[in-house]
Amino acid sequence: MTLRLFNTLTRRLEPFTPIVPGQVRMYVCGMTIYDLCHMGHARMMMAFDVVARWLAASGYAVTYVRNITDIEDKIIKRALERGITIRALTDEMIAAMREDLAAIGTLPPTHEPRATDYVPQMLAMIRTLEDKGLAYRADGGDVNFAVRKFDGYGKLSGKSIEDLRAGERVAVGDDKRDPLDFVLWKAAKPDEPEDAKYGGDYGPGRPGWHIECSAMGCALLGERFDIHGGGQDLQFPHHENEIAQSEGAFGHQHVNVWLHNGFLNVDNEKMSKSLGNFFTIRDVLKKFDGETLRFFFLRTHYRSPFNFSDQGLDDARTALRRLYTALDGIDLPADNMAIDWAQPQAAAFRTAMDDDFNTPGALAVLFELANDLNRSRAPATAALLRALAGTLGVLQQAPRSFLQAALGGVGLDEATIQAQIAARAAAKAAKNFAEADRIRQALAAQGVELKDAPTGTTWVRA
C-alpha cells in the first residue's frame, strides 16, 4: 500500500510522492515560547513526531524543521513582568520545553530554528514582496501585506475574501489600507525594551509572526518543500498567510501537502492558555509517566479531536501495561530486529500507518501480537511486537522496569518489597500460609502484585 496523506489544501486523501525521490522535507510550526508547554502543545508535537518517525521507518531521509517563535508581544510582556531579558526568558522556556518533550519520547527535529536568528531572511522576503507590489509601508511605520492583491487567498481554509471579517484575523489598525491586510514588520513602540527591537531597511521593529515561518522554511528547506504541519487552529490565519507571503514572493507553489492535527479538548472545548483550561506537561507527569502520556495520544487518530481526562490516561496506562506484561520474562535482543514487512501482522501494521498515520489501527495490531505472545511465549513474536512499537516510540523500556516503576515516584521501594517477598517465602516454608497470604494482601493493598513461578517470586506494580 502506498502512503496516503490527508492534504488540508485539497481536502482529500492523496498518495504521497516526495519532490525528491527518497527524501522528505517537512516544516512544523512550533512553540511561541513564553511559558511552559501544555498538553495541547504536546498533542501537536507528538503527532508530528510520529509522522517523522514513520517516514523514516518507511525508508525516507527526513529533514524535519520545527521552529521556535522567540519574539512576540506575549514574550515581551512576560519578560517585562518578570524583570528579565527576553533572551533569558526564552532560553529558560526552551530548556523546559525540551525536557518535557524528551519525557514523552519526542525526538528532536533535524533543525529547531529560533525566529530571531533569521531576521535578515525575513527582511529580504519583505523587500521582495514590496518590490512586487504585495506589501506596503504604512504611515505608522509598519509594513503590511496587501491581501486583495494576492490571487487565491483563502484556498487553504476555504474562506473567500467576501466572507472574511477583520475580527477573525488581527486587530484592525488605522494604518492599514484594508482591514484584511496583515503585518509583516511591526514598527517599534517607544515604551518597548531595546531587546525587542531589530534594525533594518524599515527602521527599528520586529517581524510579524507569519513572515517568520515563511522565511525559516525557505531558508532551511527551500522555496518549495513536501509537508507543512501544525495545529488545526493555525490553518487560518497563520498558514493561509504563509501561503500568501511565500507564493507571492516566489511565484510558485510553496508546499505540496498540508497536515493539521485535531484539538485536545477539555469538556469538549479546545485546551488553551487563553481559556485557562490547560494542564502543563510537567504537571501531568507528576501523576503519569511519559510513555503513558504518549500512548494516550496514540490511541486517537492525529486529525481527530478528543478529550483530555485522568480516566483516559488511566485507561492508556492499563492498556500499555498489558503490552509490557506480554513482553515480560522473554529474552529480547539489545536492539530492535529489522522488520520483515511481508510478515502478515507487520503488513497489517504498515497498512494502518500508511493510511494517513492511523495509529489506532496500528495499536490494534500490537494487541493482536500481544495476545499471540501470551499463548506462545515465542521470542520472535516478542521481537516483532517491540520492533513495530518502536516505530511509534513505545515499548522500548525493559518490561520489568516499566511494570515495577512507582507512579509519580510514590510507593514501596525495591528493598522493602524484596524483604516482604523473603518473609513470605519463610512463612510458606514454615507452613504458615495465613501469614504468607497476609503479606501478599498487604503488598497488593500498597499497589504491588506478586507473581509466583517455579523459578521464584517476582513482582510488578498493580
User: Does the annotation flag 37 for ligand binding?
Assistant: no
Q: Which of 211, 214, 222, 301 is nearest to 18 (CA)?
A: 222
User: Does the annotation flag 218 for ligand binding?
Assistant: no
Grid coordinates belonging to 310: 485522568
User: Does the annotation flag 29 for ligand binding?
Assistant: yes
How would you class 394 by CB atoms within 10 Å of its CB: exposed for 0-12, middle for 13-18, buried for 19 or more? buried
What does the alpha-carbon distance between residue 398 and residue 401 come to, in Å, rounded to a whole number? 5
Q: Are 115 and 71 in contact (CB under 8 A)?
A: yes
User: Does the annotation flag 242 for ligand binding?
Assistant: yes
Q: Which of 332, 273, 367, 352 is nearest to 57 (CA)?
A: 352
Helix (H) or strand (E) holding 400: helix 399-404
Cis ω on the peptide bond leading into residue 204 (within 30° of 0)?
no
Beta bridge partners of 230: 260
Within 8 A by CB and 6+ apart from 17, the residues are none
User: Does the annotation flag 238 for ligand binding?
Assistant: yes
Helix (H) or strand (E) holding 381: helix 379-390
Indicate the annotated binding residues for ATP: 273
Indicate the annotated binding residues: 29, 213, 238, 242, 273
Indicate the annotated binding residues for Zn(2+): 29, 213, 238, 242
